[in-house]
Homo-oligomer: A and B are copies of this chain.
């Protein structure tokens, strides 16, 4: 799960060290105020205008969750826990799970089991869990779309920044010695535009989409399991059903372990 942070660092270090060997001090890039105003602020404005205000706040949170992810509950472990609970609930009643639930770390499974233990109507339990999953999916989707938008706008504002730099430089050719420095500075905007998009925003958007599918599948498995426990299903049948929610290689490993 730490892959995102490691990847972003590799991309940044490769770029900075490569540029440094080439003779470009990163400080030159970071202190180019016009480039940063046009590309980073301008591109941010265009992205903000594309969504409502909440989306921007949520996007920042989504980025944090992708870069510094809380460990997701391991689906194989969740499956085993649920089958275990199902066995217990069948023999000793669902109330016997109360103490274990209190110690659960996965907040979603905890909430779902608690609702079931509290004797809520199964439909009501399902409604709460389903809405919870839908909320999460919607939040992930907006986060990914926001990052994609920034990743699309950034390079175009990079072009705007470069063009403005060229306009400034070329309209004052009195001192040709400044031509090189001027064009050089103009390209800093291009750098920022392409880097923010491809070194940061687009990888984040990709990761958000990939992670969302994983997290949703995990929660759907838990939901299905808790509802099955509540309805008193056979633990073997529950195991069979939940296996289809696992990533295929884990399902295969578990199935074969069982077949032996």
Contact = CB atoms under 8 A, between A and B. Distances in A.
A81 interface: no
A119 interface: no
Nearest to A44: B10
Contacts of A43: 11
Interface stretch (A88-96, A99-107, A189-197, A223-231): A189-197
Interface residues of A, number: 106
Contact of A132 (B18, B165, B202, B252): B252
Given A33-B21, A206-B51, A259-B128, A45 B12 contact: yes
Contact of A187 (B120, B135, B167, B256): B167
Interface string A119-138: 01000100110011011011
A140 to B, nearest CB: 12
Interface string A28-47: 10000111111011111111
Contact of A7 (B49, B135, B159, B171): B49
A9 B46 CA distance: 9
Given A22-B165, A164-B22, A187-B163, A203 B33 contact: no
Given A4-B49, A248-B134, A198 B15 contact: no
A170 B183 contact: yes
A199 interface: yes
A168 B51 CA distance: 38
A251 interface: yes
A166 B183 CA distance: 9
Interface of A: 1-15, 17-19, 21-24, 28, 33-38, 40-53, 55-56, 115, 120, 124, 127-128, 131-132, 134-135, 137-139, 149, 153, 156-157, 159-161, 163-173, 177, 179-181, 183-185, 187-188, 190-191, 194-195, 197-199, 202-204, 206-207, 210-211, 247-249, 251-252, 255-256, 259
26 contacts: A2-B53, A5-B49, A7-B46, A8-B46, A12-B45, A15-B38, A18-B41, A18-B161, A22-B165, A23-B172, A46-B202, A50-B206, A51-B206, A115-B259, A120-B259, A127-B255, A128-B255, A128-B256, A153-B202, A159-B190, A160-B194, A160-B198, A167-B184, A171-B180, A173-B177, A173-B180
